[in-house]
DNA sequence: CCTAACTCTGAACGATGTTCAGCATTAAAC
DNA sequence: GTTTAATGCTGAACATCGTTCAGAGTTAGG
């Protein structure tokens, strides 16, 4: 048995609180400690440093994606991949402020390995699999980057985000005629439809 | 004419110094001030805050890509796009630590607008253009993220980076058979060849 | 009962971005 | 030529950040 006094928190609850703070806009050791009724110093009994918390968190987020969708052999290759990618996008975009960390680090973690292995099951050519990963993660990263800039508001629903993009998108029609003409489509870059459209095209070439 | 004393630096030199510091691993207002023989407070006469420096810097970096390659009408559509994408990748990967900022912010800037406009010239369907952007930026972001984790060393040449990836890549063959079998290709994910291969596939579907 | 392992507090340390009063410098106004 | 106003910069300070650590308190094993 463990000797000292009982812990007043557990790593999982700590990660929950950390995720809330990231969603709110800023993860601070002091804020995190306050959220779980601890002193900043006590956090270092749970994780060696802040980076370890972020890593554990992003690994957990990535693990929330449903790998079963990728392995469902009753469906076609493209259906499986598209369905899984949509699920991954939905899961990650629930916490857009955590996405940069995921893209930056967690793809060395064990969870990322499992995702890669499953993807290779559906798409055996590793070059093709990487191309899909690049597209999916790139699209998610670009979408998440946009939300990052906004204030600490809640994540707006998709239709609302697109409408906001559309009304904020004003370009000089003389200098950027093509961009100006495409404004409606450009506003919808962050839509599920655009994500799916691009992914299906990419898959059709692999 | 301007009244007060002569400036002892200029914004451009400041950005040069800032880029050097980013390449070295950490951009600090104090370090930046020291590099141009100033006091931290004086920097705020040149830029309103740190974020403005990063934004200006990323905009300049993006502007270093050769848009002429995209507009060279003597070549086929795919050739133009591939050539430009390779140039953009090379330009950005000269400063991998600055890449996250680019992906995060500069795509609202005026330089990004010009890139988008030129891309629409070569690829008129905006949905197709965005798909290409997602692939190109996603690939660059994933490559850059890997270097970010390394120490403040100089950027290693490609062959060396791939060799390092290969020797660092050890997975359990039982748990991850497909990943294990593909290890050589996976190590080469960050190669110019893989980048081009994926891009050509993507373009072939658009 | 004692000891060793453990958790947590409270205070501190160094580093960060940013602000600001004051001084120095220069061009315009008179 | 003298005054005035604007500008550049310093030096010191502020709040906040991640992190460390001595010590107090708590628990289980010997």
Helix/strand/coil (H, E, C) string of A88-144? HHHHHHCCHHHHHHHHHCHHHCHHHHHHHHHHHHHCCCHHHHHHHHHHHHHHHHHHH
Q: Considering only A87-91, A175-179, B141-145, which range has the smallest mean pLDDT?
A: B141-145
Residues in chain B within 8 Å Cβ distance of A133: 142
Chain B segment 106-125 residues within 8 A of A by beta carbon are 107, 113-114, 116-117, 120-121, 124
Q: Which residue is nearest to nucleotide C10 (CA to C1')?
A: A39
Cβ of A178 and B138 within 8 Å?
no
Write the pLDDT tens digit of every residue in B148-186: 766 556 678 899 999 999 999 999 999 999 999 999 999
Of the ranges B101-115, B129-143, B156-170, which is most confident?
B129-143
Q: B132: which 2 tokens? A: 């290409």
State the pLDDT confidence band at B147, using cuts at 50, 70 and 90: confident
* C-alpha distances out from residue A30 to A44, A48, A50, B76, B202, Å: 12, 15, 11, 57, 46
Q: What is the mean pLDDT of residues B80-104?
A: 94
* Chain A nearest CA to B89, separation (Å): 14
* Contact by Cβ (8 Å): A128, A54: no
Check if A202 contacts B (Cβ < 8 Å): yes
Cβ of A201 and B197 within 8 Å?
no
Q: Of B100, B93, B76, which Cα lies nearest the Cα of B27?
A: B100
Nucleotides of C under 7 A from a protein CB: 4-12, 15-21, 24-28
State the pLDDT confidence band at A156, using cuts at 50, 70 and 90: confident
Cβ of B103 and A204 within 8 Å?
no
Q: What's chain B's average pLDDT? A: 94
Predicted local distance difference test score (pLDDT) of residue A104: 77
Mutate to test the interface with A, among B112, B121, B131 (most CBs of A within 10 A): B131
B37: CB within 7 A of chain D nucleic strand: yes
A5: CB within 7 A of chain C nucleic strand: yes
* Chain B nearest CA to A202, separation (Å): 5
- What is the CA A40 to C1' C13 distance in angstroms? 15
Check if A104 contacts B (Cβ < 8 Å): yes
* Contact by Cβ (8 Å): A31, A45: no
Q: What's chain A's average pLDDT? A: 94
Residues in chain B within 8 Å Cβ distance of A205: 201-202, 204-205
């Amino acid at each position: 048995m463990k000797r000292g006094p009982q812990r007043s928190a557990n790593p999982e609850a700590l990660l929950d609180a950390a995720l809330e703070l990231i969603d709110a806009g800023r993860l601070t050791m002091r804020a995190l400690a306050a959220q779980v009724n601890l002193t900043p110093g006590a956090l270092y009994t749970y994780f060696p440093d802040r980076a370890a918390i972020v890593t554990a968190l992003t690994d957990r987020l990535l693990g929330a994606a449903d790998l079963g969708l990728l392995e469902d052999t009753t469906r076609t290759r493209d259906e499986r991949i598209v369905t899984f990618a949509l699920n991954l996008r939905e899961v990650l975009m629930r916490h857009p402020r955590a996405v940069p960390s995921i893209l930056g680090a967690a793809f060395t973690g064990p969870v990322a390995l499992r995702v890669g292995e499953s993807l290779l099951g559906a798409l055996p050519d590793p070059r093709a699999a990487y191309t899909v990963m690049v597209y999916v993660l790139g699209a998610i990263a670009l979408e998440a980057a946009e939300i990052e800039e906004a204030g600490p508001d809640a994540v707006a629903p998709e239709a609302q985000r697109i409408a906001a993009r559309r009304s904020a998108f004003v370009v000089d029609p003389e200098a950027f005629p093509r961009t100006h003409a495409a404004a409606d489509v450009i506003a919808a870059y962050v839509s599920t439809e655009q994500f799916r459209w691009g992914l299906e095209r990419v898959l059709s070439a692999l």
